Amino acid sequence: MPVKNRFAELQSEITEWRRDIHENPEILFETHRTSALVAEKLKEFGCDEIVTGIGRTGVVGVIKGKSDSTGKVIGLRADMDALPILEATGLDYASKTDGAMHACGHDGHTAMLLGAAKYLSETRNFDGTVVVIFQPAEEGGGGGREMCEDGMMDRWNIQEVYGMHNWPGKPVGSFGIRAGAFFAATDQFDITLEGLGGHAAMPQKTVDTTVMAAQAVMALQTIASRNADPVDQVVVSVTSFQTSSNAFNVIPQTVQMKGTVRTMSGEMRDLAEKRINEICAGVAATFGGAADVNYIRGYPAMVNHEEQTEFAADVARKVSGDCEHADLVMGGEDFAFMLEERPGAYILVGNGDTAAVHHPEYNFNDEAIPAGCSWWAEIVEQRMPSTI
Protein backbone atom coordinates (compact mmCIF):
# COMPACT_ATOMS: atom_id res chain seq x y z
CA MET A 1 0.00 0.00 0.00
CA PRO A 2 1.98 3.03 -1.23
CA VAL A 3 0.70 6.64 -1.02
CA LYS A 4 -2.92 7.00 -2.00
CA ASN A 5 -3.48 8.03 -5.62
CA ARG A 6 -6.01 10.63 -4.55
CA PHE A 7 -3.29 12.55 -2.70
CA ALA A 8 -1.05 12.55 -5.77
CA GLU A 9 -4.01 14.19 -7.54
CA LEU A 10 -4.62 16.63 -4.68
CA GLN A 11 -0.96 17.50 -4.10
CA SER A 12 -0.95 20.73 -6.13
CA GLU A 13 -4.14 21.97 -4.45
CA ILE A 14 -2.81 21.12 -0.96
CA THR A 15 0.47 22.82 -1.89
CA GLU A 16 -1.46 25.99 -2.75
CA TRP A 17 -3.12 25.98 0.70
CA ARG A 18 0.27 25.39 2.33
CA ARG A 19 1.91 28.29 0.53
CA ASP A 20 -1.00 30.59 1.30
CA ILE A 21 -0.66 29.76 5.01
CA HIS A 22 3.11 30.17 4.73
CA GLU A 23 2.70 33.66 3.32
CA ASN A 24 0.41 34.65 6.20
CA PRO A 25 2.05 33.36 9.39
CA GLU A 26 0.43 33.97 12.78
CA ILE A 27 2.03 33.52 16.18
CA LEU A 28 0.78 31.70 19.32
CA PHE A 29 -2.99 32.14 19.83
CA GLU A 30 -3.22 34.85 17.14
CA THR A 31 -4.03 32.33 14.40
CA HIS A 32 -7.22 34.19 13.42
CA ARG A 33 -6.78 34.11 9.64
CA THR A 34 -5.45 30.54 9.64
CA SER A 35 -8.28 29.29 11.87
CA ALA A 36 -10.87 31.00 9.64
CA LEU A 37 -9.26 29.46 6.54
CA VAL A 38 -9.30 26.00 8.15
CA ALA A 39 -12.97 26.35 9.18
CA GLU A 40 -13.93 27.56 5.69
CA LYS A 41 -12.17 24.62 4.01
CA LEU A 42 -13.75 22.08 6.39
CA LYS A 43 -17.16 23.55 5.53
CA GLU A 44 -16.39 23.33 1.81
CA PHE A 45 -15.42 19.64 2.25
CA GLY A 46 -18.79 18.93 3.89
CA CYS A 47 -17.62 18.08 7.41
CA ASP A 48 -20.54 17.12 9.68
CA GLU A 49 -19.67 19.58 12.42
CA ILE A 50 -17.19 22.46 12.65
CA VAL A 51 -16.52 24.23 15.94
CA THR A 52 -14.18 27.19 16.29
CA GLY A 53 -12.92 28.81 19.49
CA ILE A 54 -11.79 25.60 21.24
CA GLY A 55 -8.63 26.52 23.17
CA ARG A 56 -9.18 30.16 22.10
CA THR A 57 -8.39 29.93 18.35
CA GLY A 58 -8.42 26.14 17.88
CA VAL A 59 -10.72 24.50 15.31
CA VAL A 60 -12.36 21.09 15.46
CA GLY A 61 -14.01 19.29 12.51
CA VAL A 62 -16.07 16.11 12.70
CA ILE A 63 -16.32 13.60 9.83
CA LYS A 64 -18.64 10.62 10.16
CA GLY A 65 -17.90 7.35 8.37
CA LYS A 66 -20.38 5.44 6.19
CA SER A 67 -21.26 3.38 9.25
CA ASP A 68 -20.76 3.56 12.99
CA SER A 69 -21.21 0.11 14.47
CA THR A 70 -18.71 0.51 17.32
CA GLY A 71 -18.88 4.19 18.30
CA LYS A 72 -15.15 4.52 17.75
CA VAL A 73 -13.72 8.06 17.48
CA ILE A 74 -10.18 8.93 16.36
CA GLY A 75 -8.61 12.38 16.71
CA LEU A 76 -6.03 13.62 14.16
CA ARG A 77 -4.15 16.73 15.23
CA ALA A 78 -2.15 19.43 13.44
CA ASP A 79 -0.65 22.68 14.78
CA MET A 80 -1.20 26.02 13.01
CA ASP A 81 1.12 28.60 14.62
CA ALA A 82 4.28 30.27 13.29
CA LEU A 83 7.40 31.60 15.05
CA PRO A 84 8.72 35.11 15.80
CA ILE A 85 11.55 34.79 13.25
CA LEU A 86 12.46 37.06 10.33
CA GLU A 87 12.21 34.85 7.23
CA ALA A 88 15.29 34.61 5.01
CA THR A 89 14.18 32.03 2.42
CA GLY A 90 13.75 34.46 -0.46
CA LEU A 91 10.72 32.41 -1.63
CA ASP A 92 8.12 34.10 -3.78
CA TYR A 93 5.55 33.06 -1.15
CA ALA A 94 7.73 34.13 1.82
CA SER A 95 6.08 35.67 4.88
CA LYS A 96 4.33 38.98 4.29
CA THR A 97 4.61 39.73 8.02
CA ASP A 98 8.02 40.95 9.16
CA GLY A 99 9.20 39.01 12.19
CA ALA A 100 6.76 36.12 11.79
CA MET A 101 7.57 32.95 9.90
CA HIS A 102 6.43 29.36 9.47
CA ALA A 103 9.87 28.08 10.44
CA CYS A 104 8.63 24.84 12.03
CA GLY A 105 6.48 23.62 9.14
CA HIS A 106 3.13 23.94 10.92
CA ASP A 107 1.87 25.40 7.61
CA GLY A 108 2.61 21.96 6.14
CA HIS A 109 0.98 20.08 9.03
CA THR A 110 -2.19 22.17 8.71
CA ALA A 111 -2.34 21.76 4.92
CA MET A 112 -1.74 17.98 5.14
CA LEU A 113 -4.48 17.50 7.74
CA LEU A 114 -6.82 19.59 5.56
CA GLY A 115 -5.91 17.29 2.66
CA ALA A 116 -6.72 14.22 4.76
CA ALA A 117 -10.01 15.85 5.87
CA LYS A 118 -10.97 16.51 2.26
CA TYR A 119 -10.28 12.92 1.27
CA LEU A 120 -12.04 11.43 4.32
CA SER A 121 -15.09 13.68 3.72
CA GLU A 122 -15.23 12.54 0.08
CA THR A 123 -14.81 8.81 0.71
CA ARG A 124 -16.06 8.19 4.29
CA ASN A 125 -14.75 4.70 3.84
CA PHE A 126 -14.56 3.88 7.56
CA ASP A 127 -16.73 2.72 10.45
CA GLY A 128 -16.78 5.37 13.15
CA THR A 129 -15.96 9.07 13.49
CA VAL A 130 -12.90 11.20 12.78
CA VAL A 131 -12.24 14.42 14.67
CA VAL A 132 -9.69 16.68 12.99
CA ILE A 133 -8.01 18.95 15.54
CA PHE A 134 -6.24 22.18 14.53
CA GLN A 135 -4.47 23.76 17.48
CA PRO A 136 -2.88 27.19 17.96
CA ALA A 137 0.15 28.04 20.11
CA GLU A 138 2.26 24.90 19.92
CA GLU A 139 5.44 26.99 20.13
CA GLY A 140 5.42 27.58 23.87
CA GLY A 141 1.84 28.75 24.41
CA GLY A 142 0.23 25.43 25.33
CA GLY A 143 -2.60 25.61 22.79
CA GLY A 144 -2.99 21.83 22.97
CA ARG A 145 -3.37 22.01 26.75
CA GLU A 146 -6.03 24.72 26.36
CA MET A 147 -8.01 22.62 23.87
CA CYS A 148 -7.92 19.72 26.35
CA GLU A 149 -8.94 22.04 29.21
CA ASP A 150 -11.89 23.17 27.09
CA GLY A 151 -13.12 19.57 27.33
CA MET A 152 -12.44 18.59 23.73
CA MET A 153 -11.68 14.90 24.45
CA ASP A 154 -14.95 14.25 26.33
CA ARG A 155 -17.11 16.53 24.19
CA TRP A 156 -16.38 14.47 21.07
CA ASN A 157 -15.68 11.22 22.91
CA ILE A 158 -12.23 11.00 21.30
CA GLN A 159 -10.63 7.63 22.13
CA GLU A 160 -7.26 7.84 20.38
CA VAL A 161 -5.15 10.69 19.01
CA TYR A 162 -2.47 10.84 16.33
CA GLY A 163 -0.06 13.64 15.43
CA MET A 164 2.82 14.26 13.02
CA HIS A 165 5.85 16.52 12.64
CA ASN A 166 8.03 17.05 9.58
CA TRP A 167 11.70 16.23 10.14
CA PRO A 168 14.55 17.91 8.19
CA GLY A 169 17.45 15.55 7.44
CA LYS A 170 15.18 12.53 7.01
CA PRO A 171 14.51 11.40 3.42
CA VAL A 172 11.37 13.13 2.17
CA GLY A 173 8.23 11.14 2.82
CA SER A 174 9.95 8.53 5.04
CA PHE A 175 8.82 7.99 8.64
CA GLY A 176 10.34 7.62 12.10
CA ILE A 177 8.73 6.84 15.45
CA ARG A 178 9.47 5.42 18.90
CA ALA A 179 7.30 4.04 21.68
CA GLY A 180 7.45 5.55 25.18
CA ALA A 181 9.05 8.92 25.96
CA PHE A 182 9.85 10.66 22.67
CA PHE A 183 10.03 14.46 23.21
CA ALA A 184 11.32 16.05 26.43
CA ALA A 185 9.56 17.89 29.21
CA THR A 186 10.60 21.54 28.83
CA ASP A 187 10.90 23.45 32.12
CA GLN A 188 12.61 26.71 32.95
CA PHE A 189 13.99 28.31 36.08
CA ASP A 190 14.71 31.80 37.40
CA ILE A 191 17.20 32.02 40.24
CA THR A 192 18.00 35.13 42.28
CA LEU A 193 20.99 35.00 44.60
CA GLU A 194 21.17 37.72 47.19
CA GLY A 195 24.35 38.72 49.03
CA LEU A 196 25.73 41.97 50.32
CA GLY A 197 27.07 44.35 47.71
CA GLY A 198 29.98 46.64 48.34
CA HIS A 199 33.39 47.88 47.25
CA ALA A 200 35.30 45.35 45.19
CA ALA A 201 38.51 46.31 46.98
CA MET A 202 36.97 45.43 50.37
CA PRO A 203 35.52 41.93 49.82
CA GLN A 204 35.70 41.18 53.55
CA LYS A 205 32.81 43.63 54.01
CA THR A 206 30.61 41.96 51.39
CA VAL A 207 28.83 38.72 50.65
CA ASP A 208 29.98 38.23 47.08
CA THR A 209 27.10 37.05 44.89
CA THR A 210 29.31 36.60 41.80
CA VAL A 211 31.43 33.94 43.49
CA MET A 212 28.30 32.40 45.00
CA ALA A 213 26.49 32.24 41.61
CA ALA A 214 29.58 30.86 39.84
CA GLN A 215 29.66 28.01 42.38
CA ALA A 216 25.96 27.43 41.85
CA VAL A 217 26.39 27.16 38.04
CA MET A 218 29.04 24.47 38.49
CA ALA A 219 27.12 22.64 41.21
CA LEU A 220 23.97 22.54 39.03
CA GLN A 221 25.92 20.43 36.53
CA THR A 222 26.16 17.67 39.12
CA ILE A 223 22.41 16.99 38.74
CA ALA A 224 23.14 15.35 35.38
CA SER A 225 26.54 13.91 36.32
CA ARG A 226 25.97 12.78 39.95
CA ASN A 227 22.26 12.66 40.82
CA ALA A 228 20.68 11.25 37.66
CA ASP A 229 20.72 7.59 36.75
CA PRO A 230 23.24 7.55 33.87
CA VAL A 231 20.77 5.79 31.58
CA ASP A 232 18.06 8.40 32.16
CA GLN A 233 18.22 11.67 30.22
CA VAL A 234 18.43 15.11 31.81
CA VAL A 235 19.77 18.44 30.58
CA VAL A 236 20.28 21.38 32.95
CA SER A 237 21.52 24.51 31.15
CA VAL A 238 22.13 27.90 32.75
CA THR A 239 21.58 30.28 29.85
CA SER A 240 21.59 33.74 31.45
CA PHE A 241 23.81 35.18 34.21
CA GLN A 242 23.13 38.78 35.16
CA THR A 243 24.90 40.70 37.94
CA SER A 244 23.03 43.68 39.38
CA SER A 245 26.04 45.95 38.78
CA ASN A 246 28.14 46.32 35.64
CA ALA A 247 30.88 48.39 37.30
CA PHE A 248 34.44 47.00 37.55
CA ASN A 249 34.79 48.01 41.20
CA VAL A 250 31.45 46.97 42.68
CA ILE A 251 30.50 43.61 44.13
CA PRO A 252 26.87 43.22 43.05
CA GLN A 253 24.08 42.85 45.57
CA THR A 254 22.26 40.24 43.46
CA VAL A 255 22.83 37.85 40.58
CA GLN A 256 19.99 36.58 38.44
CA MET A 257 20.25 33.39 36.45
CA LYS A 258 17.89 31.69 34.03
CA GLY A 259 17.98 28.37 32.33
CA THR A 260 16.16 25.32 31.04
CA VAL A 261 15.69 21.72 32.17
CA ARG A 262 14.85 18.88 29.76
CA THR A 263 13.80 15.47 31.05
CA MET A 264 12.12 12.35 29.70
CA SER A 265 10.31 11.08 32.81
CA GLY A 266 8.26 12.46 35.69
CA GLU A 267 10.75 11.04 38.22
CA MET A 268 13.70 12.80 36.60
CA ARG A 269 11.71 16.01 36.33
CA ASP A 270 10.88 15.92 40.06
CA LEU A 271 14.50 15.12 40.89
CA ALA A 272 15.83 18.05 38.81
CA GLU A 273 13.43 20.51 40.42
CA LYS A 274 14.24 19.27 43.94
CA ARG A 275 18.02 19.37 43.39
CA ILE A 276 17.98 22.85 41.83
CA ASN A 277 16.21 24.13 44.94
CA GLU A 278 18.56 22.28 47.31
CA ILE A 279 21.77 23.23 45.49
CA CYS A 280 20.90 26.93 45.26
CA ALA A 281 19.80 27.11 48.92
CA GLY A 282 22.88 25.17 50.03
CA VAL A 283 25.41 27.16 48.01
CA ALA A 284 23.84 30.46 49.08
CA ALA A 285 23.92 29.42 52.75
CA THR A 286 27.57 28.33 52.47
CA PHE A 287 28.53 31.84 51.32
CA GLY A 288 26.21 33.65 53.73
CA GLY A 289 23.61 34.67 51.18
CA ALA A 290 20.11 33.61 50.18
CA ALA A 291 18.57 32.01 47.10
CA ASP A 292 15.16 32.41 45.55
CA VAL A 293 14.31 29.74 42.94
CA ASN A 294 11.29 29.89 40.69
CA TYR A 295 10.91 26.59 38.81
CA ILE A 296 8.35 26.83 36.00
CA ARG A 297 6.97 23.63 34.50
CA GLY A 298 6.33 23.81 30.76
CA TYR A 299 5.24 20.93 28.54
CA PRO A 300 5.50 17.45 30.06
CA ALA A 301 7.47 14.73 28.27
CA MET A 302 5.58 13.50 25.21
CA VAL A 303 5.05 9.77 25.64
CA ASN A 304 3.90 7.57 22.75
CA HIS A 305 1.63 4.70 23.74
CA GLU A 306 2.94 1.24 22.95
CA GLU A 307 0.08 -0.32 21.00
CA GLN A 308 -0.86 2.80 19.01
CA THR A 309 2.82 3.35 18.16
CA GLU A 310 3.13 -0.15 16.76
CA PHE A 311 0.00 0.40 14.68
CA ALA A 312 1.19 3.84 13.49
CA ALA A 313 4.59 2.40 12.49
CA ASP A 314 2.89 -0.42 10.62
CA VAL A 315 0.75 2.08 8.67
CA ALA A 316 3.86 4.20 7.93
CA ARG A 317 5.74 1.15 6.65
CA LYS A 318 2.88 0.36 4.31
CA VAL A 319 2.73 3.94 3.04
CA SER A 320 6.46 4.52 2.48
CA GLY A 321 8.05 1.09 2.63
CA ASP A 322 9.94 1.80 5.85
CA CYS A 323 9.62 3.32 9.31
CA GLU A 324 12.78 4.02 11.29
CA HIS A 325 13.20 3.75 15.05
CA ALA A 326 13.57 7.48 15.88
CA ASP A 327 16.06 8.93 18.39
CA LEU A 328 14.91 10.78 21.50
CA VAL A 329 14.26 14.49 20.91
CA MET A 330 15.25 16.89 23.71
CA GLY A 331 12.89 19.55 22.30
CA GLY A 332 9.34 19.84 23.64
CA GLU A 333 5.97 19.15 21.99
CA ASP A 334 2.56 20.37 23.10
CA PHE A 335 0.88 17.20 21.77
CA ALA A 336 2.15 15.74 25.08
CA PHE A 337 -1.03 17.04 26.78
CA MET A 338 -3.29 15.19 24.33
CA LEU A 339 -1.28 11.99 24.82
CA GLU A 340 -1.70 12.40 28.59
CA GLU A 341 -5.48 12.40 28.12
CA ARG A 342 -5.80 9.68 25.47
CA PRO A 343 -3.67 6.86 24.04
CA GLY A 344 -2.11 7.63 20.70
CA ALA A 345 1.10 8.18 18.78
CA TYR A 346 3.18 10.93 17.23
CA ILE A 347 5.28 10.29 14.13
CA LEU A 348 8.01 12.10 12.20
CA VAL A 349 7.75 12.48 8.42
CA GLY A 350 10.94 13.25 6.45
CA ASN A 351 11.35 16.79 5.11
CA GLY A 352 14.43 15.93 3.03
CA ASP A 353 17.70 17.84 2.98
CA THR A 354 16.47 21.24 4.20
CA ALA A 355 17.52 23.80 6.81
CA ALA A 356 16.64 22.77 10.36
CA VAL A 357 13.35 23.78 11.96
CA HIS A 358 13.43 27.24 13.63
CA HIS A 359 16.09 28.38 11.12
CA PRO A 360 15.28 31.52 9.03
CA GLU A 361 15.98 29.58 5.81
CA TYR A 362 13.84 26.56 6.69
CA ASN A 363 10.90 25.63 4.46
CA PHE A 364 8.37 22.80 4.63
CA ASN A 365 8.86 20.35 1.76
CA ASP A 366 5.66 20.01 -0.30
CA GLU A 367 6.94 16.68 -1.66
CA ALA A 368 6.12 15.19 1.78
CA ILE A 369 2.40 15.93 1.31
CA PRO A 370 1.28 12.64 -0.32
CA ALA A 371 3.01 10.50 2.33
CA GLY A 372 1.79 12.64 5.27
CA CYS A 373 -1.82 12.75 4.04
CA SER A 374 -1.80 9.03 3.23
CA TRP A 375 -0.58 8.16 6.73
CA TRP A 376 -3.45 10.07 8.32
CA ALA A 377 -6.06 8.60 5.97
CA GLU A 378 -4.76 5.05 6.44
CA ILE A 379 -4.72 5.44 10.24
CA VAL A 380 -8.46 6.03 9.99
CA GLU A 381 -9.31 3.42 7.36
CA GLN A 382 -7.29 0.66 9.00
CA ARG A 383 -8.16 1.42 12.61
CA MET A 384 -11.86 1.69 11.81
CA PRO A 385 -12.32 -0.55 8.72
CA SER A 386 -15.54 0.00 6.82
CA THR A 387 -18.18 -2.63 7.37
CA ILE A 388 -20.11 -1.71 4.23
Residues in binding site for Mn(2+): 104, 106, 139, 165, 358
CB of 81 to Zn ion, least distance (A): 9
Could you tell me the smallest distance in angstroms from the CB atom of residue 139 to Zn ion?
5
**Which stretch, 22-30, 86-94, 101-109, 202-210, contacts Zn ion (CB under 5 A)?**
101-109
Query: Exposed (0-12), middle (13-18) or buried (19+): which is 110, by Cβ within 10 Å?
Result: buried
Task: Return the beta strands (E) in the chain as ranges.
Answer: 49-54, 58-64, 73-79, 129-135, 160-167, 175-177, 180-183, 185-194, 198-199, 234-243, 250-251, 254-263, 290-296, 302-304, 323-325, 344-350
Stretch that binds Zn ion, among 96-104, 118-126, 232-240, 283-291 (CB under 5 A): 96-104
Q: Which is nearer to Zn ion, 164 or 373 (CB)?
A: 164
Whether residue 159 contacts residue 305, with contact meaning beta carbons closer than 8 Å, is answered with no
Window of 103-111, 252-260, 271-279, 364-372 that interacts with Zn ion by CB under 5 A? 103-111
Q: Which residues touch 105 (CB under 8 Å, ≥6 apart)? A: 165, 166, 351, 357, 362, 364
Among residues 84 and 266, whose Cβ is nearest to Zn ion? Answer: 84
Q: Hey, is 63 helix, strand or coil? A: strand
Distance CA 129, CA 121 (A): 11
Residue number, nearest CB to Zn ion: 104
Give the binding range for Zn ion (CB under 5 A) out of 47-55, 66-74, 88-96, 99-107. 99-107
Closer CB to Zn ion, 32 or 358, in the complex: 358
Least distance in angstroms from the C-beta of 105 to Zn ion:
6
**Around Cβ 211, how many Cβ atoms within 10 Å?**
17
Residue count, binding to Zn ion (CB under 5 A): 1
From 7-15, 98-106, 184-192, 365-373, span contacting Zn ion (CB under 5 A): 98-106
- Please state whether 142 falls in left (phi above 0), alpha (psi between -120 and 50) or beta: left
Vertex 176, ends 173 and 179: CA angle to 5°?
Answer: 150
Q: Which positions ≥6 away from 185 have C-beta within 8 Å?
A: 261, 262, 263, 264, 269, 297, 298, 299, 300, 301, 332, 336
Q: Pick between residue 104 and residue 131 the one whose CB is nearest to Zn ion.
A: 104
Q: What is the dihedral of CA 102, 35, 186, 290, to 10 degrees?
A: 100
- Residue from 104, 112, 164, 228 in contact with Zn ion (CB under 5 A): 104
Q: Does 137 bind Zn ion (CB under 5 A)?
A: no
Nearest to 333 by CA among 135, 134, 132, 185: 185
First to last CA, the chain: 21
- Name the minimum Å distance from CB 354 to Zn ion: 14
Select 119 or 362, whichever has its Cβ closest to Zn ion.
362
Instruction: Provide the minimum distance between the beta carbon of 187 and Zn ion in the complex, in angstroms, as a whole number.
Output: 17
- Binding-site entries: 104, 106, 139, 165, 358
Residue among 182 and 311 whose Cβ is closer to Zn ion: 182
**Quick one: 101 or 213, whose CB is closer to Zn ion?**
101
Residue 138 CB, shortest distance to Zn ion, in Å, is 6
- Phi, psi at 343, each rounded to 5°: -65, 150
Q: Give 81 or 381: the residue with its C-beta nearer to Zn ion.
A: 81
Which segment (43-51, 102-110, 290-298, 366-374) binds Zn ion by CB under 5 A? 102-110
CB of 106 to Zn ion, least distance (A): 6
268 DSSP 8-state letter:
H
Query: Please, what is the minimum distance in Å from the beta carbon of residue 109 to Zn ion?
Result: 8
Residues forming contacts to Zn ion in the complex (CB under 5 A) are 104
